[in-house]
Amino acid sequence: MRVVVTEPDAAWPRQFRMEAERLASVFGRHALFIHHIGSTSVPGLAAKPVIDILPVVRQIAAVDALTPSLQQLGYEAMGEYGLQGRRYFRREDPPPPCHVHVYERGDPEILRHLAVRDYLRARPEAAARYGRLKAELAARFPEDIEGYMDGKDAFLKRTERDALAWWNTVPVLVLSGPVGVGKSTVADALSDLLAAHGVAHALSDLDALSEVEPRSPGDRFASGFALANLQALFSNARACGARCLIVPRVVEGEGDVADIRSAVPGADVLVVRLRAPLPVLEQRLRRREQGESLAWHLVRAAELSAALDRSGPPGHVVEAGDASPERIARRILDATGLLGRLA
């Protein structure tokens, strides 16, 4: 097999998107996400001109029934092809060649591929070194794919180790504060801001994840149920490439923070307490609640404001009574340095 490494091509992302659309027509709801991986997924990186694609599916066994449809798209089915749990398909013609690596959610190979991709995207100097190495090896081993692959091995193992250490630290931004302070609204604005910066993330409102009846005796806010849901959501979010979580939730002490850490492996929990004067909270609550619900929320807002002032967990305090959700979201990014933590 001839080894060809070409200069980066701005068309590769577009070619991936076109092929991903074709694959999505086959995988449908079986796929949680379809990722662009490999060297052609890293801007500015020299590569063999092959589009590597990683669909994450709910159940790998379901892929076997899809094989005839993939063959109709021109793909050759290669089975596991040396990697247990994978389904591998390749199409060489028409160009560009596309290689499809299908994994079930939870497979560690997913995180390995995503970690290396994102690490090289975030570090252009490392990507440039890798590109130079590949060009040198292609010149040395133009007809020897094994020699070419062996030459990359040490660099890739070192990069993979560093990338996994980096990717497995997960910033979890917890937006705390009393009822009426705008945690959910600010979380939505923060999500929009992260999306504008190209940050893959997930937003998980623990109040929404706690909706269950009847509730366990001694757990009136269904915290245990919410945390179990957060753990499952985090696993799926990581399979979709999420680098961080936004979690609106009242945290009244270190125990609440420890619970979130236990639900999210590798969590770097950043607590941001949104604060607003009690009259502002009361005004907001009167606009959205009524009857017995309003009475309960007014009492709860006063209780939480006092409790958080007295003994809330350490973290950043951001004023939320005098600005739009978008401006508050920017204050949070500045206070936490979240974007820098993800670099």
Contacts of 280 (CB under 8 A, 6+ apart): 180, 321
Residue 48 covered by a domain: yes
Phi, psi dihedrals of residue 338, rounded to the nearest 5°: -60, -45
Q: Return the amino acid letter for 8.
A: P
Distance between CA atoms of residues 165 and 167, nearest Å: 6
Do 314 and 301 reside in the same domain of the chain? yes
Domain count, the chain: 2
66, 185, 293, 323 from 289: Cα distances, Å: 50, 16, 6, 22
* pLDDT 10s digits, 148-180: 999 999 999 999 999 999 999 999 999 999 999
pLDDT of 273 over the 80 cut: yes
Distance between CA atoms of residues 337 and 23, nearest Å: 38
Do 162 and 215 reside in the same domain of the chain? no
Neighbours of 198 (CB within 10 A): 7
**What's the pLDDT at 159?**
97
Question: How long a stretch of residues is the chain?
Answer: 343
CATH code at 261? 3.40.50.300
Do 229 and 107 reside in the same domain of the chain? no
Do 261 and 286 reside in the same domain of the chain? yes
Sign of CA dihedral 312, 317, 323, 326: negative
Residue 288 covered by a domain: yes
Choose the final residue of a domain: 167, 184, 206: 167
Residue 331 covered by a domain: yes
Residue 221 covered by a domain: yes
Do 181 and 162 reside in the same domain of the chain? no
Do 181 and 313 reside in the same domain of the chain? yes
**What's the pLDDT at 310?**
87
Contacts of 231 (CB under 8 A, 6+ apart): 263, 264
Do 32 and 132 reside in the same domain of the chain? yes
Phi, psi dihedrals of residue 222, rounded to the nearest 5°: 55, 40
Average pLDDT along the chain: 94
CATH code at 33? 3.30.460.10
Choose the final residue of a domain: 167, 184, 208: 167
82, 173, 251, 273 from 314: Cα distances, Å: 49, 13, 10, 9
Do 149 and 295 reside in the same domain of the chain? no
* pLDDT 10s digits, 183-212: 999 999 999 999 999 999 999 999 899 999
Residue 7 covered by a domain: no
Rounded to the nearest 10 degrees, how much is the dihedral formed by the CA atoms of 62, 68, 69, 74? 130
Do 226 and 253 reside in the same domain of the chain? yes
Residue 1 covered by a domain: no
**What's the pLDDT at 188?**
97
CA 15 distance to own-chain centroid: 23
Do 270 and 305 reside in the same domain of the chain? yes
Distance between CA atoms of residues 121 and 133, nearest Å: 17
Distance between CA atoms of residues 46 and 222, nearest Å: 51
Do 176 and 163 reside in the same domain of the chain? no
Q: What residues does 188 pair with on adjacent strands? A: none
Do 272 and 157 reside in the same domain of the chain? no
Choose the final residue of a domain: 126, 146, 167: 167
Q: What residues does 202 pair with on adjacent strands? A: 245
Residue 303 covered by a domain: yes
pLDDT of 237 over the 90 cut: yes
* pLDDT 10s digits, 309-343: 888 888 999 999 889 999 999 999 999 999 999 98
List the domain range (segments joined by +) for residue 146.
12-167
Residue 108 covered by a domain: yes
